[in-house]
Amino acid sequence: MREVNKNSRSLAKTIALKGALIFLIIMPIVSFFIISPYFYLHDSPEKKPWVSWFNDPHERVYISWETEEETKGVLKYGTDKDDWDVEITENKSSKIHHLSLTGLDPDTKYYYSVEVEGEEYGAGMFRTAPSGFKEFTWVMISDTQQNLGPGHHYRVARVLEQKAEDYSFIANVGDIVEQGADKRYYDNFFQIASHYFDKLPFVPVIGNHDDRSVDQFTEYFINQVNTSQDHFYYSFNWSNVHVCIPHFAHGSESEMTDVQLNWLENDLARAQDKTFIVVMFHCPVIGASFFGENEVLMKNVKPILEDYGVDAIIHGHEHHYERGHLGDIMYMILGGGGGAFDVGLRPLPETEILTASPCYTEVEAKKDTLTFSTFTLEGSLIDEYTIEAED
């Protein structure tokens, strides 16, 4: 009888210990899932206007902003913030506002101010692209989606806020938000991104989470170059670099349309006079996460990139940092911008560096070199790689 009681107590103790262990493991995960990003408190400013472009940043940009109610705004801009050159009043009321600025001078710093109902909504600055060669630096992040709790886009934003004037623009390589059809996620993103939006023009790349509503995405990022609304792709030149942004958010067969693939080939063919060609699309051709190799992209896109001498392809989608080579093309995965990190990473033969950490990547363009430097949020160098121009 004593042996039975002893065994019963031992079994009860084991069950209690296992139950406590399961509770300690599961509860943080459950808590992380149920914390909604729009209830997370931070000291981010009110949403500010943002600057973007979709073809020629030498002479044309868009300035955009959002209001809760339908209103008409007034935009003032010029090269002297104390003496505006131009004032534009919107001709119709809306909630999401876009004004096109054309006839701008190349390589010129402009200031702007937006007024709504007689009060300043936000102000900022941007610089147009140079007409010829000039050294410059841009910065890249990806996957700022807040999928589990508050994420770390806020921390990334605070770092970039301090360094914004070092860069010509910022590119986000997709999954800007977690739920592309839910406006509340955009509200959260734009509020946090307002830390750097007043100094950094925004170059968006559509991700698979953003692609849950292309209509919602294009309400915020008005691409008037490709007006099909089915796919969001565009390109531009800055100094000696051509940046091409096709719509490969999923890497699926449905994205391999003749229209888009023909556009990609023609765009890269026109860019042959540029020293460097960088292509940015969300879904990796290969990666060390559980996605592995994307056969659709490998079959349909990789040969085009090789044929036209692309120097680098930049991805997001997988939530880690990775760099390697796909043949002669350097590839990077920049999934350290905000979402929860991947687990169980498996380096591929093509992988040269792999880590899971919040990070951002600077790209410095000089006459004959293109240098990619990736940093932790504390400023430590994670990785650096330089592409040299061909003779």
CATH code: domain 50-127 is: 2.60.40.380
- At 218, the pLDDT band (50, 70, 90 cuts) reads confident
User: What DSSP assignment string belongs to 109-162?
Assistant: EEEEEEEETTEEEEEEEEEPPPSS---EEEEEE------STT-SHHHHHHHHHH
pLDDT at 39: 42
Query: Which residue bears the tokens 């147009």?
Result: 128
Structure tokens at 303: 């040969």
SS3 call for 198: coil
Query: Which residue bears the tokens 């079994």?
Result: 11
Query: Which residue bears the tokens 């940015």?
Result: 280
Residue 311 pLDDT greater than 60, yes or no: yes
Q: Could you report the per-residue pLDDT of 334-348, keeping only the tens digit for each?
A: 988 887 787 778 888
CA-CA-CA-CA torsion sign (162, 200, 194, 381) = negative
Burial class (CB in 10 A: 0-12, 13-18, 19+), 338: buried
Residue 205 pLDDT greater than 70, yes or no: yes
pLDDT at 340: 78
- Do 89 and 63 touch, CB atoms closer than 8 A? no
SS3 call for 316: coil
d(CA 223, CA 77): 22
Residue 235 pLDDT greater than 70, yes or no: yes
128 CB neighbour count, 10 Å cutoff: 23
Domain range list for the chain? 50-127, 136-388
The answer to whether domain 136-388 has CATH 3.30.390.50 is no
Between the alpha carbon of residue 46 and those of residues 90, 122, 178, 195, the distances in Å are 22, 9, 20, 9
23 CB neighbour count, 10 Å cutoff: 11
Residues shown for the chain: 391
Residue 22 pLDDT greater than 80, yes or no: no
- Do 190 and 97 touch, CB atoms closer than 8 A? no
Strands 73-78 and 351-355: unpaired
Q: Could you report the per-residue pLDDT of 259-303, keeping only the tens digit for each?
A: 999 999 999 999 999 999 999 999 999 998 877 889 999 999 999
pLDDT at 44: 62
Classify residue 211 by its DSSP letter. G
d(CA 3, CA 6): 5
The pLDDT of 65-84, averaged and rounded, is 95
Structure tokens at 215: 């209509």
Full-model pTM? 0.88
Q: When comparing pLDDT for 46 and 372, which is higher?
A: 372
The pLDDT of 339-362, averaged and rounded, is 89
Classify residue 164 by its DSSP letter. G
Q: State what percent of residues in the chain have pLDDT above 70.
A: 86
Say which range, 6-20, 109-123, 249-263, has the weakest mean pLDDT. Answer: 6-20
β strands within 186-297, DSSP E: 202-204, 234-238, 241-245, 276-280
d(CA 360, CA 336): 7
Which of 211, 213, 209 has its CA nearest to residue 177? 209
- At 46, the pLDDT band (50, 70, 90 cuts) reads confident
Residue 188 pLDDT greater than 70, yes or no: yes
Q: What share of the chain is helix, strand, coil (3-state, %, to 5)?
A: 25, 30, 40
- At 172, the pLDDT band (50, 70, 90 cuts) reads very high
Which of 168, 161, 190, 4 has its CA nearest to residue 97? 190
Residue 350 pLDDT greater than 70, yes or no: yes
| Cα atoms in the Cβ-side hemisphere of radius 13 Å centred on 107 | 9
* Residues contacting residue 185 through CB under 8 Å, at least 6 positions apart: 37, 38, 145, 146, 177, 178, 179
